[in-house]
Amino acid sequence: MSSPTPDWSALRKDFPILDQQVHGQPLIYFDSAATSQKPRIVIDTLRHYYERDNANVHRGIHELSNRATNAFESARERTAKFIHARSVDEIIFTRGTTEGINLVANAWGGKFLKSGDVILLTEMEHHSNIVPWQLLAERTGAKLAYIPVTGDDGLLDLSKLDALLTRDVKLLAMTQISNTLGTVNPVAELCERARKLGIVTLVDAAQSAGHSLVDVQAIGCDFLAFSGHKICGPTGIGVLYARAERLAEMPPYQGGGEMIVTVDFHKTTYKQAAHRFEAGTPDISGAIGLHAAMDYLDAAGRDKIFAHDQALAQYAYERLAEFKNVRLFGPKTGRAGLVSFLLKDVHAHDLVTVADQRGIALRGGHHCNQPLMRKLGVESTARASFYFYNTRAEVDFFLEVLCDIQKFFGA
């Protein structure tokens, strides 16, 4: 915590993609909540792997296979450190947050949930933390319940928690940071409440893992999932943390190579976790690229990154609040690095199209949060999401463009 604040403008130069013009304007990338850009070290690590070390893992005897295996397993160790897992065996590589949640729903949920059980979610979950549970509920007869969101200010209504935490609740799954509202949820507090009642917990860390320090032991969750591509790593790689006790009781997710000890025509024995949950050739280069991304982020300091992103989002939020005919979503203070909003009489997609012509990449739509959108009574919002490579000058230009958009559409 005592390390100096990074030189953000120097770090920005590590991202080759940001140095370009879009529609004749300097690119302003405000869509990092969808996917982050990649620093040169991650791109170089991928190239080096494919140019020098590429081979399959865990079965080769030759030199390249040893190198690839060592690099892949070293990425697992790095990931355990990144989220402060007790053991490297608690780290399962997946394709991303979505696959991590599906793995839990299938392997853990398929074994332990039965008819009448309740899966407790929150109303601000991404579709990826709703649909796998709906599928599980359909298979098992379990039911879904939701911790409500208060309204436009986007907080969880914890006054309802006592009533919701019934003895039928077997699993609580929630996001740490809302991708639509920017809300930072008190996941450690919620996990503690759940644990006392014997409820298993899952945290969706897709928006938090690369933007803040994430400590699975401090949170006290049973499962935590995140994606590599949102934290400066490659697409196609993700991480599922699973507490050792949970892994020990879980059957395999997918069957195939890499996850077996012996296979007979009628009977197979499986490896221990985490390999038991990684059937088939994994995304080797993805894990190695993710390792480079984690080193990069921690060299900058994720606590510093959070403060930077939060300051930009708070600034954007406060300046937007001065606009006429604006509707803002999410908490007034303490938000993570994004702002979701609507301008009256300007549809989000028109806004995003015009901003794009000014070089600004925004997101407009339902942000994979359709039930929340319906609750808030909107079809879509526009969202600007920030990362440490974004600057206050970019936010100022964005606000200028929004003023022009209001004039253009006569709003």
Partner 1 sequence: MFDDLQELYQQVILDHSKSPRNFRRIEGATRIAQGHNPLCGDNLTLYLVMDGDVIRDVSFVGDGCAISKASASILTETIKGKTKAEVEELFEKVRTMVTTGEMSGSNLGKLAVFAGVHKFPARVKCAILSWHAVKAAVAGEAAPVSTE
Q: Is the Cβ of residue 84 or residue 347 nearer to partner 1 in the bound state?
A: 347
The span from the CA of 317 to the CA of 190, in Å, is 27
User: Is 404 a binder of partner 1 (CB under 8 A)?
Assistant: yes
In the complex, minimum distance from the CB of residue 267 to partner 1, in angstroms, rounded to a whole number: 46
Cα angle at 393 between 32 and 3, to 5 degrees?
Answer: 70
In the complex, minimum distance from the CB of residue 401 to partner 1, in angstroms, rounded to a whole number: 10
In the complex, minimum distance from the CB of residue 343 to partner 1, in angstroms, rounded to a whole number: 12
The span from the CA of 238 to the CA of 228, in Å, is 5
Please say whether the beta carbons of 222 and 201 come within 8 A: yes
User: Is 374 a binder of partner 1 (CB under 8 A)?
Assistant: no
Q: Is the Cβ of residue 192 or residue 404 nearer to partner 1 in the bound state?
A: 404
User: Is 366 a binder of partner 1 (CB under 8 A)?
Assistant: yes
Q: Is the Cβ of residue 281 or residue 353 nearer to partner 1 in the bound state?
A: 353
Q: Which run of H or of E encompasses 121? A: strand 118-122
Using the contact rule CB under 8 A, the part of the chain among 44-52, 135-143, 295-303, 357-365 near partner 1 is 357-365
Distance from chain centroid for Cα 114: 28
Helices (H), 106-185: 110-112, 131-140, 161-164
Please say whether the beta carbons of 357 and 23 come within 8 A: yes
Interface with partner 1 (CB under 8 A), residue from 5, 87, 166, 353: 353
- From the list 221, 232, 368, 403, the catalytic residue is 368
Q: Is the Cβ of residue 147 or residue 346 nearer to partner 1 in the bound state?
A: 346
User: Is 266 a binder of partner 1 (CB under 8 A)?
Assistant: no
User: Is 327 a binder of partner 1 (CB under 8 A)?
Assistant: no
In the complex, minimum distance from the CB of residue 364 to partner 1, in angstroms, rounded to a whole number: 8
User: Is 349 a binder of partner 1 (CB under 8 A)?
Assistant: yes
In the complex, minimum distance from the CB of residue 350 to partner 1, in angstroms, rounded to a whole number: 5
Q: Check if 368 is active-site.
A: yes
Q: Is the Cβ of residue 21 or residue 159 nearer to partner 1 in the bound state?
A: 21
User: Is 345 a binder of partner 1 (CB under 8 A)?
Assistant: yes
Distance from chain centroid for Cα 305: 15
Kindly give the pairing relationship between strand 118-122 and strand 238-242: unpaired
Name the nearest CA neighbour of 81 among 283, 297, 270, 278: 297
359: left (phi over 0), alpha (psi -120 to 50) or beta: left
Q: Enumerate residues 6+ apart whose C-beta is below 8 A from 211.
A: 177, 231, 302, 305, 306, 309, 336, 337, 387
Helices (H), 143-211: 161-164, 187-196
User: Is 348 a binder of partner 1 (CB under 8 A)?
Assistant: yes
Q: Is the Cβ of residue 7 or residue 400 nearer to partner 1 in the bound state?
A: 400
Interface with partner 1 (CB under 8 A), residue from 27, 323, 379, 399: 379
User: Is 402 a binder of partner 1 (CB under 8 A)?
Assistant: no
At residue 165, what is the residue type?
Answer: L
In the complex, minimum distance from the CB of residue 325 to partner 1, in angstroms, rounded to a whole number: 14
The span from the CA of 29 to the CA of 15, in Å, is 11
Interface with partner 1 (CB under 8 A), residue from 350, 361, 371, 391: 350
Using the contact rule CB under 8 A, the part of the chain among 64-72, 150-158, 250-258, 351-359 near partner 1 is 351-359
The span from the CA of 211 to the CA of 79, in Å, is 15
Q: Enumerate residues 6+ apart whose C-beta is below 8 A from 212.
A: 177, 302, 303, 305, 306, 336
Q: Is the Cβ of residue 94 or residue 128 nearer to partner 1 in the bound state?
A: 128
In the complex, minimum distance from the CB of residue 405 to partner 1, in angstroms, rounded to a whole number: 8
In the complex, minimum distance from the CB of residue 382 to partner 1, in angstroms, rounded to a whole number: 11
Give the catalytic positions in this structure. Answer: 368
Binding residues vs partner 1 (CB under 8 A) = 23, 345, 347-350, 353-354, 357, 364-366, 370, 373, 378-380, 404, 407-410
